[in-house]
Structure 1
């Protein structure tokens, strides 16, 4: 019964779930890392931009960012800094269209795009370079990570040791409906501004892509119905959400994997907490803290590292 009691305690001044979520995103300073960037050419003619932090380790930590994030996202870079402090190499990969350069194809990325994770592992992470691989995913990147592990079952890269995920919207349909509510509009509006900007840019290069409907779109429901689903081969938004929700893949995971999430996450519904699945499994661990917000888990000490970063290191060191 891999349900883990959490030790996380939020700082007193972050008195609600929205402050816990927004404070790290807006006020945490940059991690101050020197990046080595690589452009990975893909078989379909597109590319992925990868940020490497190498120091000669045989152990590589692979970080997947969240929706409309990037390798420059504060949470991803601070996680990299924490892992570098332990002596590991780190790779933060950008989903298609999430680096500083728009991707080439009409399609971009989506919330269950595990094929790009698989391709990136096959093409960029060479066996001669690393003996041990760890997957780390935040929010949507966590959903992709869990889906990838559940899809692979017994054909995983033999170097994979474990995976750590945070604040995962395991059920995309209920998550989309929840973020469409009035209380969540501050988050929805931010996502919509960024996603619409990408569609408008793409429409300048692909005349068949009509940007006019964007004016009336306010939620994931409408955006995914009009753009995400058809651009990526799904029948509609409901089909896209169902096929790509990691909730339906978790029970097939055979690699030691933890989902760390907060009970007060403003992005998630009850369906995004796979308690029953965790109770039935040996290798999937679920840790639900009372507080933490969405990808928050702030703490203040002399190191500058957050509780989530320390907890990640604690978990992975059990399997290295």
Structure 2
């Protein structure tokens, strides 16, 4: 499933990685991509895509396909909380893959990005049915070489829950997560620390902007005035949990955490996480590493922040090198 000799070289690179100045510390690593990103063209034929969901809601998810014409597995990118297909790390990853000749789909989660105009609800960590719908409706011509999934932050959580739901699916040749929350209760506790108030304010601003647009569109069934959550925990208590059938935020976190379901995943999965991630704790990754699951490989770096990984001697984020290596491992 994995070539251990080739992975050993990657492990050595992880152990010797050091932060690149001036992005020192987890916080600067986390925000660096917003400051340094250059919006360059992504190679290949660009095709907008729509994916009608099969739950009777009439909702339609959207994305953008980039096809440089060289084949290989289709790589599907899943963005994180308060993001979209236009998040800078998604576009940087798509460009990196397309420059290698790989087909890549930048997906908007339900109610994110351009899909907000055609959806009645927003996405959540247990939203596996939407991803399965998309996998089932992709044209055969895109998937004849297989499908590789890469999820960032919350997108990684959704990805892992989907893989656990699917079990053994021959269409999927592998997957990778970057800075994904495995234990939502622990992640919520970490995010709610006083030091993270500025992050919460920024994320809540984006999420509540989506809620106001949904409310203004008339697609929300609840016509009561929008509440004003003061934290992501309150947001999940007031919006996510009741909207998606959970008793409360604690019930949502418990049922949507992929940690206890990882044993149901049957495809090769690489996980990259930083110990100094200010949002997501690393303890669950250490426990997965100790579990001995043969289809998981954990790369836990001392540095990197949240979806950062800006290291010395590397012109691009380290997660792009890990992704390229992983695709090479599965023959993509």
- Fold similarity call, TM over 0.5: yes
Query: Is the Cα–Cα contact under 8 Å of residues 166 and 261 in structure 1 kept in the other structure?
Result: yes
Match of 1:262 among 274, 280, 298: 274
Corresponding residue for 1:250?
262
Return closer, same or farther for 1:128/1:213 CA change in 2, 3 Å cut-off: closer
CA RMSD of aligned residues (A): 2.2
1:20 corresponds to:
29
Structure 2: which 5+ runs fail to align?
none
What is the match of residue 233 of structure 1? 245
Correspondence for 2:138 among 124, 130, 144: 124
Residue from 184, 195, 203 that aligns with 1:191:
203
Q: Which deviates further from its counterpart, 141-150 or 263-272?
A: 263-272
Please say if 1:32 is aligned against 2:41.
yes
In structure 1, the partner of 2:167 is: 153
Unaligned runs of 5+ in 1: none
Q: Structure 1 residue runs of 4+, over 4 Å off?
A: 1-5, 299-302
Q: Distance in 1 between matches of 2:268 and 2:204?
A: 35
Residue equivalent to 1:314: 325
The 2-side partners of 1:286 and 1:264 are apart by 16
1:273 alignment partner in structure 2: 285
The answer to whether structure 1 residue 10 and structure 2 residue 10 are counterparts is no
Partners of 2:19 and 2:312 within 8 A in 1? no
Q: CA deviation at 1:42?
A: 2.0
Report whether the alignment pairs 1:285 with 2:297: yes
Match 1:47 to one of 30, 35, 60 = 60
Q: Work out whether 1:305 is the aligned partner of 2:316.
A: yes
Q: What CA distance in whole angstroms lies between the structure 1 residues aligned with 2:22 and 2:142?
A: 48
Give TM-score scaled by structure 1 length.
Answer: 0.91
Mapped contact 2:289–2:297 kept (Cα < 8 A): no
- The answer to whether the 8 Å contact 2:66/2:103 transfers is yes
The alignment status of 1:65 with 2:79, answered yes or no, reads yes
CA shift for structure 1 position 300: 6.8
Q: TM-score normalised to the size of structure 2?
A: 0.88
Change over 3 Å in CA distance of 1:101–1:146 after alignment to 2: closer
What is the aligned length? Answer: 315
1:97 to 107, 111, 115: 111
- Separation (CA, whole Å) in 2 of partners of 1:257 and 1:207: 38
Q: In structure 2, what is the equivalent of residue 80 of structure 1?
A: 94
SS, match of residue 84 in structure 1: helix
